[in-house]
Copies of this chain bind each other. A is one copy, B any other.
Amino acid sequence: MEKYTRKVHYYETDKMGIVHHSNYIRWFEEARVYAMEKMGYSFSRLEKEKKFSPVLSYSVEIKHSTKFDDNIEIFPKIISYNGVRLSISYDVKLNEKIIATGTTTHCFTNEKGLPLRLSKSIPELDKKFKEELKFGCK
């Protein structure tokens, strides 16, 4: 999956003067959306087709704090995929140094919230995830 680059916004800081920890998980979402678009199957398209991808769990480890205006890079990578559940890891880098890592786990559902098996329901996306899992992060 492609790396995603963005600046830290002022409203993401807190009174400690650093980024509030809850923002990392929002950045992961931005990176995931961006990488899926670059993979050729956008999140937008998925939802237009009335399929959804809720977050089942997530974790974040913060090694070094981030500050306003920092230019961060996020490297998402598919670490597991079984046709029903997808797990992605994220490295957050500042000046080429890893400052935070994390993971998110997702399932896929239809409009009624029922889980989908992607090989049957969205074979095109299923194939892309399998390729990503095999060949990894660029």
| Interface residues, chain A, with chain B CB atoms under 8 Å away | 9-11, 13-18, 20-23, 25-26, 29-30, 33, 42-44, 47, 52, 54-62, 65, 68-69
Contacts and interface: CB of A to CB of B under 8 A. Distances in A.
Number of this chain's copies in the assembly equals: 4
Contacts of A23: 22
Given A9-B33, A55-B62, A60-B57, A68 B22 contact: no
B62 A57 contact: yes
Given A9-B29, A14-B13, A26-B22, A42 B69 contact: yes
A57 B59 contact: yes
A101 to B, nearest CB: 9
A68 B55 contact: no
